[in-house]
Structure 1
Amino acid sequence: MCYSPGTEEAEMRKRQQSQNEGTSSVSQAPSNQRPNTCCFCWCCCCSCSCSKITLEELLSWAQNFDKMMKSPAGRNTFREFLRTEYSEENLLFWLACEEFKHEQNKKAIEEKARVIYEDYISILSPKEVSLDSRVREVINRNLLDPSPHMYEDAQLQIYTLMHRDSFPRFLNSQIYKSLVENLSGGTSDT
């Protein structure tokens, strides 16, 4: 399976940190090239969920954004598209919030709340997500006593943004159309 909560964000953070430091790792793929061109994920294997997508599942994403977001293969394909639009941080933020909701350890909650803030909310972050001032104010207040649900309003705002703004473009993208064509045996009308 391609997706593992936390692992995806950690790998992305390492990759970006390495790029920012000007170093490269032999095990890392360049950010503009997928290591495995048979699927849209970064796991370097052919046994991932991306290679097990059915045409029916793929077409169902076009009808239901929520269904796509619940699918590891759907999230990975959508993430690949967001990367081309330089808005991958929206999905990464959403995933970080999903993972954060399950945290129960008080120290870990405080640490993860801070990391999410620094990575996605801070105006100093290169991965800052677009939030309105009301939501930012609530987050700033909640940082004094963080809880696993403190980012829910922000997460909903970003989810809605992806759904209304990015998702329609994704369905018209070459990434999605190529995948439909490949799974339908090259006879796609989309």
Structure 2
Amino acid sequence: MKQLLQVELLRTSLYRTRIKVSQALENLVQHVETYTEFDPLLVPPHPSNPWVNEDVTYWQLTASLVDVPTEKRVRKWGLSMEDLLCDPTGVQEFTNYLQKEKSEENILFWLAVNDLRRSSQSQVLWKIQEIYENFVKHGAPREVNIDNQTMDKVLEGMKNNSRYCFDAAQEHVYNLLLKKDCYPRFIRSDYYKNLLANGIQPLQKKR
């Protein structure tokens, strides 16, 4: 029996997608080169290094939510949607843009599902119903565009009052609507270009 399992594992490994070491290293080097300038431990932060002096300007400029982000911060949003959505200010600006475009339902749904996942058990039931009423049911005020198969998964999960019942719909919205449509439009938009142009560019302070 053990030998049969080993044979099956070996047979499976023959069809497993693999990547060449050279390609993996090339991808790693490219990633490092792209993100090095955004790492304050590798590149001295401007206007000064808060780890070696008492100047708090850097912390103020890089706070979670700021009215005017730095130009460098805005540029990082242009690297990937993941970088944009990891930054609360990025999420705020992305949402503002989509609201101007009258297409904010996708990002608001994505945020609501994230919030549901982190909620206490006592909040789960009413938040499920709120998300369904606002975003999912046919004719909802901010109805998101999901296919029938995804809708079936949502309804099945709702029967169990699962905090994860909207995960399939969230993945659908993320990959097919936000990543392939909303995010590229945002990066190409005048709104984003204005954020870049008006971004703060702190000067290095003299030691």
Mapped partners of 1:140, 1:152: distance in 2: 12
Tell me if structure 1 keeps the 8 A contact 2:69–2:200. Answer: no
**2:92 alignment partner in structure 1:** 76
Which aligned pairs between 1:109-148 and structure 2 lie closer than 5 A? 109-148=124-163
2:179 pairs with one of 163, 166, 170: 163
Which structure is higher in RCO with an 8 Å CA cutoff and minimum separation 6? 2
Q: Whose helix proportion is higher, 1 or 2?
A: 2
Percent of matched pairs sharing the same residue: 28
Give the partner amino acid of 2:196. V
Larger Rg: 2
Question: Structure 1 length normalisation: TM-score?
Answer: 0.68
SS of the aligned residue for 1:143 comes to helix
**1:86 alignment partner in structure 2:** 102
Tell me if structure 2 keeps the 8 A contact 1:50–1:73. Answer: yes
Tell me if structure 2 keeps the 8 A contact 1:55–1:180. Answer: yes
CA RMSD of the aligned region, Å?
A: 1.8
Question: Structure 2 length normalisation: TM-score?
Answer: 0.63
Give the partner amino acid of 1:166. C
**2:118 alignment partner in structure 1:** 102
**1:49 alignment partner in structure 2:** 65
Q: Which runs of 5+ in 2 are unaligned?
A: 1-62, 202-207
Mapped partners of 2:108, 2:185: distance in 1: 18
How many equivalent residue pairs? Answer: 138
Mapped partners of 1:184, 1:143: distance in 2: 46
SS of the aligned residue for 1:138 comes to helix
Divergent runs of 4+, >6 A = none
Q: What is the CA distance between 1:184 and its match in structure 2? A: 6.2
